[in-house]
């Protein structure tokens, strides 16, 4: 076991859990890394479950109530734990069926972001659903946690969408900046992309050295034995990337994430968030 | 935004139902204590509505109920008697201002000096005050009153066995009112007690002369009310924290209580604070969010303003039954059952708090007495943690004393008397490395010991003063400053 190289699949009890499990299993088998499923339990003290509306208080009302409420909480926690355990075991079976050796499972109490930061030590790749339990009912495309989490975690994150399809063609949204160049290095050295064509797409405002940058990236990838077709398409990055992905039948988007400060993205919007929102395919975010 | 939604909308159904149950328990307390304070019931009812709705927004503890309370009402009696309602309203405004200042100064941290025993005493005293407030409605009444109260208690505690879906105090009040009208019982009703609210509250400033004299009249009352209000609010907040296993913002609660009281004073209401009994009812009925407090206030207003004619028909005895329930539910019965098994100091502190409150009708004085007694007991206990041993060394030329434990005002005397000054010896070594000198009294005691030995012609060596003790000794001690020694000797 190599705990320092694990893939952490963060799941909640939404429809995404299955796809998260599938992609995590795919990455784990390709990278030969151990896989762990993490389920976070969050208690909600602001919600009551009592159905006693009698409003009558008698002898030792306070003590009785305290005992009663802590027993309820205890039972609830135990239920949530048991339910989560069964849920995790189902995902575990799913990963085993997909060929992962001995995936591990873990449940933790706490808030999502904080828990993940605490767990980040020794994680090589996070896999999480683009939308979580809370977002399922809303119109928003991007689970509200994703940006916060991507910023807090300094590890690659695979944000999956609905449905699983084994990636056959990946694409890098390449802008020649330091974050993406570092990303290309990571791709070249990672077993995840062995035997997988990785397209290099450059779009947006054209820089003078674009062709040179693109050449560098292709050489770097080809040296690692990765087939790397390149394309230089001027135009609005969001639209170009979407169209290219569709035309070329790309099923995994790779990009550098949140190079700018949170303040800047609040004021001017963040390219990462825009792309994440518009991309219909799983996205690997590199930090 | 997130927590705003969480505070208000995460528990809507249960919050509303709990608010209804609480509103029913607010009415009798507001009416009963308005009468105790010597004002019309509408003063208490407007106050309850206003405080509950305002604190829902400004408070720091979601799910806690604040309104016109008995604890505050008993403090106003002489003010109302001597100077009238307008001065009470002015005092209410000033109370709010003082509470806001207390919140800014973060005085809530002082709550840590109020021990569990004093809190228990406070709660018990409160329950007794609530019960005593019902006595005027009970003593010397006709048998019908007793029958109605008894029937009320039976319904309140019996009805939940049938169904817990609706508040049993509501059932009690409705059934007993119908019965009283149907049988034409000759008993006092709410309408007999004074004016009820006949309109929505309107904004009005108290009509008092704005001068120093007015301030002199209201300040003592306002200061006491501000203190009692914050004490009960902080205790209630701690109770709700425990019950719901969630944190609260005590500082915000202090300021919030102040704002609520100012608002109450501006609509012709009296000062109030958080209520232990009603907050427990709220949590028990499923109330958790701010909506429960707000809905309690709104239901109260709807009931008394729009159903005022019906409210006036409610027999006082039915409300007495509800208040007896609140009193029973507030009282900490375990502290009585365990009176013997609890530590004696605990029970003593608790009883002293209760006795002082019941005697003075002032919870602030009770808490002060309780805190003082707790302090005495604590100082006495820690003062026991002192040991002075000695051994002769160097073939009888030297005696080495070792001091272990706490030296401070309560143990200084024991410290001094542990040394044998009459012993004829060359050198005395006092090892204080395992002792702590807390205050000037302790340092003076060490000085006294050193000087006494010197007067007998004995060399004294003090070793091992730890850092904290060393600073105390450096700042206050005289034995290592020759000039000052003269001064000390002069006293002898």
d(CA A40, CA A115): 8
Partner residue opposite B286 with nearest CB, options A53, A59, A73: A53
Among candidate residues B328, B318, B274, the one with its CA nearest the CA of residue B24 = B318
What is the reported pLDDT for B282? 94
**What's chain B's average pLDDT?**
89
A105-115 tens-digit pLDDT: 988 887 777 77
Size of interface A-B (CB pairs under 8 A): 120
At residue A204, does pLDDT exceed 80?
no
Indicate the residue of A48, A59, A63 with minimum beta-carbon distance to B288.
A48
Cβ of B280 and A65 within 8 Å?
yes
Give pLDDT, residue B99.
96
CB of A111 less than 8 A from some CB of B:
no
Q: Residue B131 and residue A231: Cα distance in Å, rounded?
A: 85
Closest Cα in chain A, distance from residue B399 (Å): 57
Confidence label for B403 from pLDDT (cuts 50, 70 and 90): very high
> B325 vs A54: CB contact, 8 Å cut-off?
no
Q: Spell out which residues of chain B touch residue A54, defining contact as CB-CB under 8 Å.
A: 21, 159-160, 164, 166-168, 285
- What is the model's pLDDT at position B240? 93
Mean pLDDT in chain A?
81
Interface contact A52-B18, CB threshold 8 A: no
> What's the pLDDT band for B490 if we cut at 50, 70, 90?
very low
pLDDT of residue B260: 97
Span A27-77, pLDDT tens digits: 999 888 899 998 888 777 777 776 777 888 888 888 888 998 888 888 888
Q: Please state, as a whole number, how many other Cβ atoms lie within 10 Å of the Cβ of residue B162.
A: 12
- The token pair at B247 is 């944190």
pLDDT over 50 at B186, yes or no = yes
Interface pTM, i.e. ipTM: 0.79
DSSP B323-386: HHHHHHHHS-THHHHTTTTS-HHHHHHHHHHHHHHHHHS-HHHHHHHHHHHHHHHHHHHHHT-E
Which of A28-37, B291-300, B455-464, B465-474 is predicted with the least confidence, judged by mean pLDDT? B465-474
Query: B164, A44: Cβ pair inside 8 Å?
Result: no
pLDDT in tens, A160-177: 888 888 888 899 888 777
Token pair of A266, please? 């609040």
Helix and strand counts by DSSP (H, E) for chain B:
21, 6
CB-based contact A55 B329, cutoff 8 Å: no
The residues with which B220 forms a beta bridge, in sequence order, are none
The residue length of chain B stands at: 492
Are the C-beta atoms of residues B60 and B249 closer than 8 Å to each other? Answer: yes
Q: CA-to-CA distance for A17 and B221, rounded, in angstroms? A: 62
Determine the pLDDT at residue A1: 41
User: Tens of pLDDT along B350-368?
Assistant: 999 999 999 999 999 999 9
What's the pLDDT at A268?
A: 61
Angle at A260 between CA A259 and CA A262, to 5 degrees: 125
For residue B476, is pLDDT > 70?
A: no
Q: How far is B393 from chain A (nearest CA, A)?
A: 59
């Amino acid at each position: 076991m190599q705990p320092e190289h694990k893939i952490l699949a963060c799941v909640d009890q939404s429809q995404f859990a299955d796809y998260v499990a599938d992609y995590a299993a795919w990455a784990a088998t390709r990278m030969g890394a151990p896989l762990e499923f993490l389920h976070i339990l969050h208690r909600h003290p602001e919600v009551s479950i009592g159905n006693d509306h009698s409003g009558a208080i008698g002898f030792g009302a306070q003590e009785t109530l305290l005992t009663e409420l802590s027993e309820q909480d205890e039972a609830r926690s135990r239920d949530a734990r048991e339910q989560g355990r069964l849920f995790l075991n189902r995902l575990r079976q799913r990963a085993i069926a997909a060929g992962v050796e001995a995936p591990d499972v873990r449940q933790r109490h706490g808030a999502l972001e904080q828990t993940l930061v605490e767990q980040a030590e020794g994680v090589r790749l996070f896999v999480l659903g683009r939308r979580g339990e809370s977002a399922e009912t809303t119109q928003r495309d991007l689970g509200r946690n994703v940006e916060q989490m991507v910023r807090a975690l300094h590890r690659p994150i695979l944000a999956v969408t609905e449905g699983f399809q084994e990636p056959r063609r990946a694409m890098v949204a390449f802008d020649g900046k330091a974050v993406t160049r570092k990303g290309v290095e990571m791709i070249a050295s990672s077993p995840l992309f062995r035997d997988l064509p990785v397209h290099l797409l450059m779009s947006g405002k054209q820089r003078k050295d674009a062709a040179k940058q693109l050449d560098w990236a292709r050489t770097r990838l080809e040296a690692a034995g990765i087939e790397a077709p390149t394309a230089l398409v001027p135009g609005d990055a969001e639209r170009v990337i979407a169209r290219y992905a569709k035309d070329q039948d790309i099923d995994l988007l790779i990009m550098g994430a949140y190079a700018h400060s949170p303040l800047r993205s609040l004021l001017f919007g963040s390219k990462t968030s825009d792309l994440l929102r518009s991309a219909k395919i799983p996205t690997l975010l590199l930090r | 935004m997130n927590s705003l939604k969480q505070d208000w909308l995460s528990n809507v159904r249960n919050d509303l139902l709990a608010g209804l149950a609480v509103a029913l328990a607010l009415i009798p307390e507001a009416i009963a204590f308005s009468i105790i304070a010597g004002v019309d019931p509408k003063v208490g009812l407007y106050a309850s509505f206003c405080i509950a709705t305002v604190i829902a927004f400004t408070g720091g503890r979601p799910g806690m109920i604040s309104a016109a309370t008995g604890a505050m009402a008993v403090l106003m009696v002489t003010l109302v008697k001597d100077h009238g309602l307008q001065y009470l309203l002015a005092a209410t405004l000033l109370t709010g201002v003082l509470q806001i200042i207390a919140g800014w100064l973060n005085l809530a941290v002082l709550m840590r000096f109020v021990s569990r025993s004093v809190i228990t005493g406070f709660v018990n005293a409160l329950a007794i005050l609530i019960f005593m407030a019902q006595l005027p409605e009970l003593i010397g009444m006709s048998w019908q009153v007793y029958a109605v109260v008894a029937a009320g208690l039976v319904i309140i505690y019996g009805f939940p066995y049938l169904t817990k879906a609706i508040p049993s105090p509501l059932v009690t009040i409705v059934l007993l009112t119908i019965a009283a009208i149907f049988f034409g019982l000759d008993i006092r009703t709410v309408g007999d007690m004074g004016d009820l609210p006949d309109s929505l509250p309107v904004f009005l400033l108290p009509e008092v002369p704005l001068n120093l004299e007015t301030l002199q009249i209201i300040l003592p009352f306002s200061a006491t009310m501000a203190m009692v209000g914050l004490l009960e609010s902080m205790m209630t907040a701690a109770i709700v924290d425990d019950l719901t296993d969630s944190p609260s913002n005590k500082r915000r609660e202090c300021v919030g209580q102040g704002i609520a009281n100012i608002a109450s004073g501006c609509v012709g209401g009296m000062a109030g604070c958080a209520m232990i009994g009603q907050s427990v009812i709220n949590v028990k009925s499923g109330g958790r969010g701010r909506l429960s407090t707000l809905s309690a206030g709104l239901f109260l207003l709807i009931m008394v303003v729009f159903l005022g004619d019906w409210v006036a028909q409610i027999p006082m005895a039915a409300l007495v039954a509800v208040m007896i329930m609140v009193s029973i539910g507030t009282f900490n019965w375990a502290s009585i059952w365990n009176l013997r098994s609890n530590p004696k100091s605990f029970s003593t502190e608790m009883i002293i708090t209760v006795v002082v409150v019941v005697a003075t009708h002032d919870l602030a004085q009770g808490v002060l007495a309780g805190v003082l007694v707790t302090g005495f007991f604590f100082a006495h206990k820690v003062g026991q943690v002192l040991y002075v041993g000695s051994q002769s060394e160097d073939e009888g030329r030297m005696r080495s004393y070792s001091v272990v434990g706490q030296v401070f005002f309560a143990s200084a005397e024991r410290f001094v008397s542990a040394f044998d000054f009459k012993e004829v010896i060359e050198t005395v070594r006092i090892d204080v490395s395992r002792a702590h000198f807390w205050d000037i009294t302790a340092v003076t005691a060490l000085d006294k010991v050193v000087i006494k030995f010197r007067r007998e012609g004995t060399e004294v060596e003090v070793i091992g003063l730890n850092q904290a003790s060393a600073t105390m000794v450096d700042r206050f001690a005289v034995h290592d400053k020759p000039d000052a020694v003269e001064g000390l000797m002069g006293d002898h």
